[in-house]
Homo-oligomer: A and B are copies of this chain.
Amino acid sequence: MSLLPDPSHMTALQREGSISLVGAGPGAADLLTGRALARIAAADVVFYDRLVSADVLALIPPSARAVNVGKEVGQCAWPQDRIDRLIVDSALQGLRVVRLKSGDPSVFGRAGEEIAAARAAGIKIEVVPGVTAASAAAASILDPLTERGRFDRLVLATGTTLAGKAPENLAPSLVPGTRLALYMAVHHADLLQAGLAAGGLNAALRVTVVSQTGTPFERVLRCALGDLGQEVRAQGIRNPAIIFVDIPLAQTVSDSAGAVALA
């Protein structure tokens, strides 16, 4: 079976194809934007990632072909260059291609490679932004990503770059006043904990892990940084999840009783 869409979807008059990189948001169908819904409704073919939820997939109209190009982290069943070729070839056939990505396509979504491939082929391309996972997790637990006077800065990083190496180079960027949000990192929780400790962060810093945000299976783990690896394992927390690490401003730390001290 060819993975390319059925040519019968095309009209006799060759239409100009296009590619929309669409943010599917955190999973709930009512957290997509109106523009995302419109692009999905008009699609001839939808190439979607593994993390796109069943509720969102249910929005794909029966007239569109839906193709799962998702891969488990660390596996490479669908290399990025194959996806690039596939979306471009489909658009060159005149199809309206939706490339559906969980969260926001611009955040750890490898959108740049797909944009470059489309441009190289002269294909019309757009990005429809979405609600990124950190925003959704913060909303769900009512704990904003920034907090005036405590967390003036938010750092988004990804666990996929942690594989095989401790994240020593993460620690220097975590000056007081920072909240760190780590995407797809719970399977590297031990590495993360060790790397941040090696980088000088205090083991007592507060960590919050939110998995499966907004679903009936949402879980929230709160612990000290020094217990992160052990707690993630003990509680069986899995991706998709966000790990928040809080490095509050020093003056806030000394002002509020019970807050942790920085290393």
Interface residues of A (CB under 8 A from B): 23, 25-26, 28-35, 37-38, 104-113, 115, 125-132, 134-136, 138-140, 142-148, 152-158, 161, 169-170, 172-175, 177-178
Contacts and interface: CB of A to CB of B under 8 A. Distances in A.
Nearest to A114: B144
Contact of A25 (B29, B33, B126): B33
A144 B105 contact: yes
**A29, A32, A105, A148 — most chain B CB neighbours (10 Å):** A148
Contact of A138 (B25, B106, B140): B106
Nearest to A110: B148
Provide the main secondary structure of the chain A interface. mixed
A131 B130 CA distance: 6
A108 B128 CA distance: 22
A255 to B, nearest CB: 16
A135 to B, nearest CB: 4
Contact of A154 (B33, B155, B175): B155
Contact of A139 (B32, B106, B153): B106
A142 B154 contact: no
Given A32-B34, A115-B142, 10 more contacts: A25-B33, A31-B34, A31-B129, A128-B139, A129-B136, A153-B156, A153-B170, A154-B155, A172-B172, A172-B173
A131 B131 CA distance: 5
A23 B139 CA distance: 10
A173 B104 CA distance: 24
B144 A106 contact: yes
Which of A23, A33, A126 gathers the greatest number of chain B CB atoms within 10 Å? Answer: A33
B107 A154 contact: yes
5 contacts: A33-B33, A106-B144, A107-B154, A109-B146, A112-B143
